[in-house]
Structure 1
Amino acid sequence: MAFLYTNGDHHAAEALFVFGSLMDLDLMARVIGRDAAHVRMAPASIRGFQRRRVAGEHYPVLVPKPDGLVDGRLVEGLTAADIDRVHFYEGDVYELVPVTATTEDGRRVTALVFLDTGAIDVSHDGWDFDAWVQTERSMALALAERLMTYYGRISLREVEGIWARIKDQVDSLYGYDEEAMAAEARAYP
């Protein structure tokens, strides 16, 4: 299989560290396009970063912070094709970078994480998974469902071009409230 969105060097045994909406197993299943029963997610953390909300969006980005600690999930059991689909979902504003993740039992694992290529407008607001589940999860599932219909049909660069249209369609269905999103973001520094 030719991998469209990654460099093809990723192996099925590699782990992925996720820190935002992909911590939701249902969202992960929509992104990889099948039941995620084979995917193992365990609480883990990485050092040297801080999680912030992407300006005007419902998802976070990591920014460097020397004394930072970000809790997330270590995802194992993904195939190279799964990682390719996740890369499509993340878009070309992120690149896969190896980091060391530490699990709750102290195991240290080299994992890939999606980091900003410098193209993302980062807000000063924090992002909280539990608040996201309560206020934005339904919309995020719908966004992922629509976006992933384009997998294999358009390039990573083209994803950015259709993202606003997909987001507007889903916003109109869910009555997405920018002010409520901003208030929630300010609550989690």
Structure 2
Amino acid sequence: MLLFLYGSLLDPKVLAQQSGEPRLARRLRPAVLPGHARRPLRGTPYPTLIRQACAVTEGALLRPSPAALRRLAAYEGAEYRLTPVRLLTPRGPVRARAWIAPRWRAG
């Protein structure tokens, strides 16, 4: 599964710690998500995404191992759901999934 990362998991140290794979950040590839804006998740220091015309969110594309995906899902927690998204990359459009909280949780 391809993941779009746009928050704390873009930090190589956080990604390594939470995924259990120290070199996983080397596989990050730039990507942008059109039509979505990054907003804080109410009551936390973490972001979520909301649909917003003309907005673009920068982030990175990643294909984690199944074990890393399970660990990352546990890190993201119950607030977020894996949601299908369509990204733009230097190689063209790509379908992936992003962890997004319900809109009412956006601050």
- Taking structure 1 as the reference length, the TM-score comes to 0.52
Give 1:44 deviation, angstroms: 0.7
Q: Distance in 2 between matches of 1:65 and 1:111?
A: 19
Structure 1: gaps spanning 5 or more residues: 1-13, 124-189
TM-score, length of structure 2 as denominator length: 0.87
Q: Percent identity?
A: 30
1:41 aligns with 2:41: no
Runs (4 or more) in structure 1 with deviation over 3 Å come to none
Pairwise CA distance, 1:34: 2.8
Worse-superposed segment, 37-46 or 55-64 = 37-46
Name which structure has the greater RCO, CA cutoff 8 Å, separation 6+. Answer: 2
Q: For residues 67 and 18 of structure 1, do their structure 2 counterparts lie closer, same or farther at Cα, with a shift above 3 Å needed?
A: same
Q: Secondary structure at the match of 1:82?
A: helix
Q: Find the aligned partners of 1:107 and 1:118 in 2 and give their Cα distance.
A: 28
More helix by share: 1
Residue matched to 1:102: 88
- Structure with the greater alpha carbon radius of gyration: 1
RMSD: 1.8
Q: Which amino acid aligns with 1:29?
A: A
Distance in 2 separating the partners of 1:37 and 1:54: 25
Is 1:111 the counterpart of 2:96? The answer is yes
